[in-house]
Amino acid sequence: MKIFAHRGFSGQYPENTILAFDKAHELGVDGFELDIQLSKDNKIVVFHDRRLERTTDGQGRLARYTLQELKQYDAGQGERIPTLAELLKAYYLGPQLMIELKYHTAWNYQPLVDALVKLLKRFKLKYPPIICSFNWPALVYLRSKSRSINIAVLHTRKPFPRVLKIADLIKACAISTPINEVSSKKVALAKAAGLNIYVWTVNSKKQAALCRQLGVFGVISNFPDKIK
Ligand code: G3P
Ligand code: CA
């Protein structure tokens, strides 16, 4: 079973920072999960929330700041908010990246998808990244921009047949399911549809054991050290 570090080794280090990714890498994880969104000047930054307060010493909505302005904030332990380009430069040889398109305004997904497709063309990554999102129209649009990119359908509280249907429509390679929604039936249905199934957020040995028993393809964890 593959282990992806959720926002890096976020259980112990500031989430979505180079420090958290470096520490996850030291543990020998298979992949990093990370969140991306656009700064005011259309740079792709690695950041989870709509607003800066929870994880930095800044205030307000991230999208209102340019990259240069964002870089002045402390994202924890002196870390700065990384750009996706910085992460790709550091980790083009792996681990594999699972990049979540974050949308805090659901309708405006095209600029981020366009910027991501353009940026990925600049890098020759050893392991093809997997792009996921709860925003399914964004994934449909992403597929229209790239026939070959790996897409995972992220879902929660949606009827499973709908998840499988959208995965089929956009030729996804995977789905990503919350731990409280996974079941042997869903794993079997995903496999029958030719889809890898990832489960998040798997933070305990017990949850990891359940996923192994169910035959889950990969798990996404804040504590990859605990579940290896
Ligand atoms: O990849 C799944 C998980 O990261 C989705 O939820 O809120 O942690 O981005 P969230
Ligand atoms: Ca995420």
Superfamily of domain 2-144+198-227: Phosphatidylinositol (PI) phosphodiesterase (3.20.20.190)
Q: Indicate the SS3 state at residue 130.
A: strand
Query: pTM higher than 0.95 for the full model?
Result: yes
Strand partners, 100: 35, 132
CA-6 nearest atom, ligand 1: 4
Q: Are 168 and 153 in contact (CB under 8 A)?
A: no
Per-domain residue ranges for the chain? 2-144+198-227
Q: Indicate the SS3 state at residue 188.
A: helix
**Catalytic positions, written as ranges:** 6, 48
Q: Are 62 and 51 in contact (CB under 8 A)?
A: yes
Q: Which of 7, 15, 35 to mutate to test the pocket of ligand 1 (most atoms within 8 A of CB)?
A: 35
What separation in Å is there between the alpha carbon of 184 and the centre of ligand 2?
24
Per-residue pLDDT of the chain (228 residues; tens, 9 = 90+): 999 999 999 999 999 999 999 999 999 999 999 999 999 999 999 999 999 999 999 999 999 999 999 999 999 999 999 999 999 999 999 999 999 999 887 789 999 999 999 999 999 999 999 999 999 999 999 999 999 999 999 999 999 999 999 999 999 999 999 999 999 999 999 999 999 999 999 999 999 999 999 999 999 999 999 998
The span from the CA of 4 to the CA of 192, in Å, is 23
CA-134 nearest atom, ligand 1: 5
What separation in Å is there between the alpha carbon of 40 and the centre of ligand 1?
23
